[in-house]
Amino acid sequence: MPYEILTPETLVDYLKSIDAMRTLFSSFDNLEVIEVGDGNLNYVYLITNRDTVTETIALKQAVPYLRVVGESWALTRERMRFEIQALEKHKLLCPDLAPEIYYSSVEMSVVIMENLSNQKILRGQIIEGKVFPFLADHMSTFLANTLYYTSDLYLSSGEKKQAVSQFINAELCNLTEEFVFTNPFEKHETNNYNEELSEKDIDFIQTDGSLKIAVAEMKYKFMNHAEALLHGDLHIGSVMTNENETTVIDPEFAFYGPMGFDIGAFIGNLFMSYFSHGYRQKLFGREPLEYRTWILDTISSTWNQFESKFDSLWEKHQNDKDPLYFDYPGGAADAKLQRQTFLKHVFSDTLGFAACKMMRRIFGLAKVADIADIEDLKERARIERMTLELGKALATQRDQYTCIEEVIELAKTISPLQ
C-alpha cells in the first residue's frame, strides 16, 4: 500500500487489510482508537477491541516531518526502517526487555506492536516518585546484551560491517549532532531558556573554551566511533515499566556509535531526576532522602551491573574461542587487563555523553518534564544550574573519575542528599 498518513478514521480499514491483524482481532466492528503519541517525532495509536479487550495493539507511524516543530521541519520517514530493524534486534538479544512486533511496513512507515498497557513511561513514573526495584538489573542487561553482541568483540569483522551498513541513520544522527552537541552550546535560534536563568548562567556553558573542546570531542566520538548498535535515544522517556517489567521502546535513532552514548543517556537522565526531586518530593509533602537515595542507587547499580555483565559476556567469549580472542603468536594477551582497559574507556565516554545529554536538556529545544514542568521558575533555574554544573564537570573531567561512586559524590556535593 502506498504511503498515506493514517488517521483514527482510516486506521481500521488499514488494519483490516493486514493478514496478521485479521488473525489478532476477532472483529473490527467495535474498535477503540486512542492517539497517545507524546513523543517529539511520530504518531502512536492504541487500538483495542471493546468486546474482547485482550485483542489490543499499539500502532506507530512516522510522518514526513518533525512532529515537535511541525510540517515546516521536513524529515524523511526512513527513521521507521531503523526503528523496525532495531526493535527486531532488541527482541532477539533481550526478549524480555523489548516489545513484541506483530507487523511492520517500511512502505507505510508503520510498526504494529504489543500494547504495553500494563506499563507506563518511566519518566512520568519517576516524576511521581515511584520506585522500580528491578530497573537497574533490567537496564544493565539491556545495555550489556545490545552493546556487546553487536560489537566487534562478538561479531566477525564481516558481520559487523554488514550490520553497520544497515544502520547508516544519517538524518537522525544529524538531529543529535545539532540538538545534543551543537546548538545548546552556542547562541542558536532553536534554544529555549528559562527566563530565570541569567546571562552569567548561560555564559557558564556557552563561553567556556575547555567545555567547548570537551563537547566537540564527544561529538567527534559520536560521529566516528562505530562500536556497537545503539538505541540512540535512551532517555527515561524511552523506557516503559511496571513493578516487575521493563520494556525499551522507540529506537528510531539506532545507529552504530560509541557504547557510552546509550549508557550516558540513561544515567544522565537519572541525575536530572535526582536534582529535580530535591524539590519535587517536598511538593508531595515527603522528605526527599529516601527517593533520591533510590535514584542514586539505581545510577550506581546500572553502571556497576552493566560493567560486570558486559565483562562476563566478553570473558565467556574469550574462553570459548580457540585460540583466545585477541591472542597473538609470541605473546599471550592479558585478557582481563584488556577488558578492564576497554571498560575504563566506556566509563569515560559514558560520563562525557551523560554530560552533553544533561546540558542539552537545559538550553535546547527538547526539554525533560522532570525539570521543565516545574512551575516555580526560580526553583527550576536552581535545578537547571545544578544540572549544568554537573554536566560541565563531567564533560571536562570525564577521564579523571575511576568509579561511578565518585561521580555520585560529586552530584551530592552539588545537591546534598537530603
7-46: contacts with ligand ADP (CB under 6 A):
36-42, 44, 46
Among 55, 250, 379, 389, binds Mg ion (CB under 5 A): 250
User: Does 40 help bind ligand SR1 (rule: CB under 6 A)?
Assistant: yes
- Pick from 21, 31, 41, 240: which binds Mg ion (CB under 5 A)? 41
Decide if residue 233 touches ligand SR1 (CB under 6 A): yes
Edge-to-edge strand ranges of the sheet holding 246-248: 120-121, 239-241, 246-248
365 binds, among ligand ADP, ligand SR1, Mg ion, none (CB under 5 to 8 A by kind): ligand SR1
Residue nearest to Mg ion (CB): 250
Cell representation of residue 348: 569515560
Partner touching 36 among Mg ion, ligand ADP, ligand SR1, none, CB below 5 to 8 Å by kind: ligand ADP
- Of ligand SR1, Mg ion, ligand ADP, none, which one does residue 37 interact with (CB within 5 to 8 Å by kind)? ligand ADP
Name the CA dihedral angle for 110, 112, 115, 120, rounded to a multiple of 10 degrees: -30
| Partner touching 179 among Mg ion, ligand ADP, ligand SR1, none, CB below 5 to 8 Å by kind | ligand SR1
Within 13 Å and on the Cβ side, how many CA atoms surround 73?
11
CB of residue 262 to Mg ion, shortest distance in Å: 14
Residue 262 binds to ligand SR1 (criterion: CB under 6 A): no
Which amino acid is residue 6, in one-letter code? Answer: L
Stretch that binds ligand ADP, among 167-175, 200-208, 249-257, 402-410 (CB under 6 A): 249-257
Sole binder of ligand SR1 in the list 43, 103, 167, 179 (CB under 6 A): 179
Site mask, ligand ADP, residues 111-140, x = CB under 6 A? Answer: --xxxx----x-------------------
Would you give the binding string for ligand SR1 spanning residues 84-103, x where CB under 6 A is met?
--------------------
Among residues 96, 102, 104, 109, the alpha carbon closest in space to that of 2 is found at 109
Give the bridge partners for 240, in sequence order.
Answer: 121, 247
CA nearest 216: which of 413, 17, 396?
A: 396
Q: Does 365 bind ligand SR1 (CB under 6 A)?
A: yes
Query: Minimum Å distance from CB 33 to ligand ADP?
Result: 13
Q: How far apart are the first and last CA of the chain?
A: 57
Q: Is the bond into 251 cis (omega within 30 degrees of 0)?
A: no
84 and 103 Cβ atoms separated by less than 8 Å: no
Minimum distance between the CB of residue 355 and ligand SR1, rounded to whole angstroms?
15
Closest approach, Cβ 361 to ligand SR1, in A, equals: 9
Nearest-approach distance from CB 356 to Mg ion, in angstroms: 18
Nearest residue to ligand SR1, by Cβ distance, number only: 40
The DSSP secondary structure of 184-211, one letter per residue, reads GGS--TT----TTS-HHHHHHHHT-HHH
With CB under 6 A, what is the number of residues at the site for ligand ADP?
A: 20
Using the minimum distance from each CB to Mg ion, give the nearer residue, 87 or 388.
Answer: 87
* 139-178 positions binding ligand SR1, by CB under 6 A: 175-176
**Cα-based distances in Å from 350 to 262, 307, 401:** 8, 12, 11
Distance CA 4, CA 63 (A): 9
CA distance 3 to 6: 9
133-139-145-147 Cα dihedral, nearest 10 degrees: -160
Q: What is the number of the residue whose Cβ is closest to ligand ADP?
A: 39
Q: Which helix (H) or strand (E) holds 353?
A: helix 335-363
From the CA atom positions of the chain, what is the Rg in Å? 22
Range 21-25, long-range pairs (CB < 8 A, 24+ positions): 21/57, 21/102, 21/103, 21/112, 24/55, 24/57, 24/102, 25/49, 25/55
Residues in contact with ligand ADP by CB under 6 A are: 36-42, 44, 46, 58, 60, 99, 113-116, 121, 249-250, 252
Positions that interact with Mg ion (CB under 5 A): 39, 41, 250
- Summarize as ranges the residues that interact with ligand SR1 (CB under 6 A): 40, 68, 175-176, 179, 233, 365-366
